[in-house]
């Protein structure tokens, strides 16, 4: 899993001679896009799991309330 801090530290750099090389910039930009897509995907999967657990808990509460009413 990729963490925001590792993405930040990996891509925040001081200007250097590499900044003058368009091919290197393009490679860094495409790598940055791939890493951020991976990061977004992991966040979405985490949110999906969290939502699933919340729904399961809500269903348990509904079942409990239904048992108490009957």
Work out the pLDDT band at 16, boundaries 50, 70, 90. low
For the segment 4-21, the average pLDDT, to the nearest whole number, is: 55
The Cα–Cα gap between 66 and 32 comes to 51
Residue with tokens 């966040």: 43
pLDDT higher at 58 or 24? 58
The answer to whether the predicted template modeling score (pTM) of the entire model surpasses 0.75 is no
Q: Which two tokens stand for residue 36?
A: 């951020």
Q: What residues contact 25, with CB distance under 8 A and at least 6 apart? A: 18, 19
Q: Where are the beta strands (DSSP E) in the chain?
A: none
């Amino acid at each position: 899993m990729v963490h925001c801090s590792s993405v930040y530290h990996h891509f925040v750099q001081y200007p250097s001679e590499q900044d003058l090389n368009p091919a290197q910039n393009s490679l860094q930009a495409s790598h940055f896009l791939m890493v951020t897509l991976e990061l977004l995907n992991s966040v979405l999967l985490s949110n999906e799991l969290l939502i699933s657990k919340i729904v399961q808990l809500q269903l348990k509460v509904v079942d409990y309330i239904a048992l108490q009413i009957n």
